[in-house]
């Protein structure tokens, strides 16, 4: 135990922000053809969501499983691993999410559950997806990233965790929402390094996931009381 | 240039010995050096750390930039380089830069064992040798006292077999000082690495006098409080009394404060910039400060 207390949080930040940005630039340069695949994936998810298709949730879950796998394998398993010994643990978290999301996708495909009918959840879900795609890169620019150093949605962890949070908010299945634990863990972990480095991009994940969890709890309470009212309302 | 007298010749040749190469950047005087108590070997008072600054991963551009920082360090008579497996790719990058500059022979390489598993510690030592591309280390420390009871016997083995020259342990931020005190009192070690600077002076009370009494060399980490101290002082105009102490800038003055403590052998400031390295290496020359001068620096920092 004494060993543990001999560290402070800042001890675990072993690189500087410019080094992280340069690493992202290297990764973007090597992996940019993957962007075409990811753009198609995002377009399919957006189209199914727009049409309120019953396939939206399972396809979105499967898409996120795929992206989590890419992040675990390429981002944490290769590029980020050259900077931080903790990458191996993050990689495990993303592999675990890959498996859970893939199983959930199959389950949702069969159970055919649909979109939430709690309006705030729906609204927030869409906002989170848009934030992941458009606002996060802008925050990165505010943090000091150049265009070539942009943390690309689909290949970097923060955006995936936010868009996954959005998808889980959109779903009407409460058991599925347990998966919010993944983004919650990542939000906490990434705050440890983003805070001392002063990187806003990483600092917004945790508060946004917590807001999503609160919204989910509120929607559950609203749903239950609505049902209770229906059941016990005198005829 | 005037005729070379005997004293100038001696000064020049000793600086050539320390920097290991004859080039235009060789300073005309030799660096300040202090003797390691357990052997009498002299080491320059300013070394360099690598936490964050040398963890640049595989980026070739950044690696080349760090090679320039290291080149500046060697040219200014530096030798002591500190790292740890905890610092991401820093050991690997140092190995790359040393190889690029062909300076392996000049480095007084210091690294650490950083694992709670005794068995893993052995693997880590071999990894460090491979990453630094060195056959042996000058100093090998137990990082943050992590499982020091388990690691020390192995470090002794390494010392006996000539794979390391000196052994010891490191701590920082004033943590676990009572444990360090116990170790200094009960174990035979050559080096202790700890945090000391003009703002964090707790070690002056017990650890520095004890290390001196036990004949243990002291390597000082975080001499700039991870940069915070520099950020505070650099807003102030460099004082005339600082110049009277023979210093040109704040970093040099802050380092002189540290290395002038009689128990301290060297400080290991970290930097990623050639210009900063140049400033820091200024403290490798000139004279050590007297107690009243050190007090003046500490007072100035306190009053900022
Ligand atoms: N437990 C342990 O074993 C332990 C713990 C802590 C540290 N250490 C060792 O001690 C070394 C030094 O400690 P540290 O790196 O934590 O902190 P430090 O040396 O006190 O400060 C480093 C910071 O100061 C800045 N700096 C350096 N020279 C400067 C100058 N001339 N002008 C302006 N800024 C300057 C650097 O930024 P730039 O890059 O911009 O110059 C860097 O951000 C570490 O690198 C590590 O090797 C060991």
Q: What is the mean pLDDT of each run of 10 residues along chain A (235 residues)?
A: 62 90 94 92 94 94 97 96 95 98 95 86 95 95 95 94 96 94 96 92 97 93 76 49
**Which domains, and CATH codes, for chain B?**
43-302 (3.20.20.100)
Residues of B in contact with A8 (CB under 8 A): 173
Is B24 a residue whose pLDDT tops 90? no
Say what the pLDDT of residue B27 is. Answer: 56
Which atom number of ligand 1 is nearest to the Cα of residue B143? 3
Going by alpha carbons, the residue nearest to atom 37 of ligand 1 is B271
Cβ-Cβ contacts under 8 Å for B170 (sequence gap 6 or more): B84, B112, B141, B142, B143, B144, B145, B192, B193, B194, B219, B221
Nearest CB among A6, A16, A84 relative to B171 is that of A6
Going by alpha carbons, the residue nearest to atom 25 of ligand 1 is B227
Is B293 a residue whose pLDDT tops 90? yes
In sequence order, what are the beta bridge partners of B290? none
Is B12 a residue whose pLDDT tops 50? no
- CA-based angle B86:A148:A82, to the nearest 5? 20
Is B17 a residue whose pLDDT tops 60? no
CB contact under 8 A, B88 and A82: yes
Say what the pLDDT of residue A9 is. Answer: 74
Say what the pLDDT of residue B176 is. Answer: 87
Say what the pLDDT of residue A225 is. Answer: 82
Q: Work out the mean pLDDT of chain B and round it to a whole number.
A: 91
Say what the pLDDT of residue B22 is. Answer: 38
Mean pLDDT of the region B81-109: 97
pTM: 0.88
Say what the pLDDT of residue B19 is. Answer: 39
Say what the pLDDT of residue A228 is. Answer: 67
SS3 (DSSP) at A82 = helix
Say what the pLDDT of residue B174 is. Answer: 75
Say what the pLDDT of residue B55 is. Answer: 97
SS3 (DSSP) at B269 = coil
- Render B54-94 in DSSP notation, one character per residue: T--TT-HHHHHHHHHHHHHHHHTT--EEE--TTSTTHHHHH
The rounded distance, in Å, linking the Cα atoms of A159 and A165 is 10
Write the pLDDT tens digit of every residue in B213-241: 999 999 999 999 999 999 999 888 999 99
Is B94 a residue whose pLDDT tops 80? yes
The rounded distance, in Å, linking the Cα atoms of B221 and B225 is 9
List the strands of the sheet with B264-267, edge to edge: B80-82, B108-113, B137-142, B164-170, B191-195, B217-221, B264-267
Say what the pLDDT of residue B1 is. Answer: 36
Q: Which residues have any ligand 1 atom within 6 Å of their CB?
A: B 49-51, 53, 82, 84, 143-144, 170-172, 193, 221-227, 230, 251, 268-273, 276, 279-280
E strands, chain B, are 33-35, 42-44, 80-82, 108-113, 137-142, 164-170, 191-195, 217-221, 264-267
Is A1 within 8 Å of chain B by CB? no
The closest of B188, B112, B115, B189 to B150, measured between CA atoms, is B115
Is B251 a residue whose pLDDT tops 70? yes
């Amino acid at each position: 135990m004494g060993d543990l207390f001999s560290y402070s949080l800042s001890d675990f930040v072993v690189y500087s922000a410019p080094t992280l940005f340069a690493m992202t630039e290297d990764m973007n340069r090597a992996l940019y053809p993957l962007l075409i695949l990811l753009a198609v994936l995002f377009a399919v998810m957006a189209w199914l969501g727009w049409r309120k298709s019953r396939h939206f949730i399972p396809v979105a879950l499967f898409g996120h499983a795929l992206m989590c796998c890419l992040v675990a394998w390429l981002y944490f398993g290769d590029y980020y691993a050259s900077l931080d010994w903790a990458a191996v643990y993050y990689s495990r978290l993303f592999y675990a999410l890959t498996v859970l999301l893939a199983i959930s996708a199959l389950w949702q495909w069969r159970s055919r559950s649909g979109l939430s009918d709690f309006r705030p959840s729906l609204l927030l879900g869409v906002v989170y997806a848009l934030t992941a795609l458009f606002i996060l890169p802008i925050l990165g620019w505010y943090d000091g990233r150049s265009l070539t150093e942009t943390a690309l949605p689909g290949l970097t962890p923060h955006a995936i965790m936010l868009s996954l949070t959005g998808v889980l908010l959109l779903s009407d299945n409460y058991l599925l929402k347990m998966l919010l634990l993944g983004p919650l863990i990542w939000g906490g972990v990434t705050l440890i390094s983003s805070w001392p480095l002063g990187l806003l991009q990483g600092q917004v994940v945790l508060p946004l996931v917590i807001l999503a969890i609160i919204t989910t709890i509120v929607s559950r309470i609203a749903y239950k009381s609505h049902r209770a009212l229906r059941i016990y309302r005198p005829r | 240039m005037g005729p070379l007298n005997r004293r100038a010749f001696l000064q020049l040749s000793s600086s050539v010995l320390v920097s290991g190469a004859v080039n235009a950047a060789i300073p005309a005087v030799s660096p300040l050096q202090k003797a390691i108590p357990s052997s009498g070997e002299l080491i320059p008072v300013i070394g360099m750390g690598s936490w964050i600054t040398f963890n640049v991963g595989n980026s070739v551009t950044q690696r080349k930039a760090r090679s320039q920082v290291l080149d500046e360090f060697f040219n200014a008579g530096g030798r002591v380089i500190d790292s740890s497996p905890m610092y991401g790719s820093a050991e690997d990058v140092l190995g790359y830069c040393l190889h690029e500059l062909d300076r392996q022979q000049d480095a007084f390489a210091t690294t650490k064992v950083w694992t709670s598993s005794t068995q893993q510690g052995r693997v880590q030592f071999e990894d460090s040798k491979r990453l630094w591309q060195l056959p042996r280390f000058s100093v090998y420390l137990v990082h943050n006292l992590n499982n020091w009871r388990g690691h020390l016997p192995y470090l002794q083995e390494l010392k006996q077999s000539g794979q390391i020259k000196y052994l010891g342990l490191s701590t920082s931020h004033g943590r676990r000082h009572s444990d360090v005190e116990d170790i200094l009192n009960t174990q035979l070690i050559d080096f202790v690495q700890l945090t000391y600077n003009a703002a964090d002076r707790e070690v002056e009370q017990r650890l520095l006098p004890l290390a001196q009494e036990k004949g243990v060399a002291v390597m000082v980490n975080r001499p700039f409080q991870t940069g915070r101290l520099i950020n505070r002082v650099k807003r102030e105009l460099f004082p005339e009394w600082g110049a009277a102490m023979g210093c040109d800038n704040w970093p040099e003055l802050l380092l002189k404060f540290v290395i002038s403590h009689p128990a301290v052998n060297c400080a290991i400031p970290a930097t990623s910039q050639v210009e900063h390295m140049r400033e820091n290496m200024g403290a490798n020359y000139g004279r050590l400060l007297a107690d009243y001068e050190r007090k003046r620096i500490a007072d100035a920092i306190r009053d900022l």
